[in-house]
Structure 1
């Protein structure tokens, strides 16, 4: 089954790859590796903002992280000239969680992205990962995730 078919089965339609918000490129390809710039939590109703441990619960943060993963896949699709079947695997994610100083559930928040990628891509979605806290993120978003992907 194709990646796009699996996404459709999950009720996910990839948006157009978000444009960068400043002076950087959305992705860089070096050989068969694509480095995707940080994707912020953004859903159908706009930016998903909040601070974990203050005004946002872990479950809502995980849902925000899933939107980051969807944007990451949209960038990979753009890097692959529109052919997502060129994706070989997710190599690494680095997740940033907008949270209060004593919040310690960053891994559970970033699981929203990790779980989605494994569900959508199977073993190709399994990856190495970091999940860290941030005192603030751009535009007040709850989560930002950058990724490294292998393509063919």
Structure 2
């Protein structure tokens, strides 16, 4: 039987990749009760890392696409946390987005909208969430965006 969430993702042209392995001494997710805390996922797409600095060599549209890539990785981690059954998702609780940007760049929310808009489009009301969008002077490996999430599951 096909997952309802993965069917919706397929309609949007998205297939969840395998959950990325952690790059250091941490775990990709922790479940505490009915909450799953997913470690920060860096902007990585089918062609590799999505690097750039907003306000320097990357525009808001490209940054939003990088944020969407992070959201796809977050869902891949959630699927792994749920033992492959992503339909255990009840709602996205919170995103915290970090944007690699210059000191004078102020459109971090527009960049992280790439993740937020995608999650609502893919998940409907259960994709609506609280959120923070902040600037970072640098992110790991020079990526444009990193996002962590909290999910509620059944």
Give the TM-score, by structure 2 length.
0.98
Structure 1 CA distance, aligned partners of 2:87 and 2:56?
40
State yes or no: 1:13 paired with 2:4.
no
The 5-angstrom pairing of residues 1-150 of structure 1 reads: 2-150=4-152
Cα drift, residue 115 of structure 1: 0.2
4+ long deviations beyond 2 Å: none
Structure 2 CA distance, aligned partners of 1:3 and 1:119?
11
Number of equivalenced pairs: 152
Give the TM-score, by structure 1 length.
0.99
Cα drift, residue 45 of structure 1: 0.4
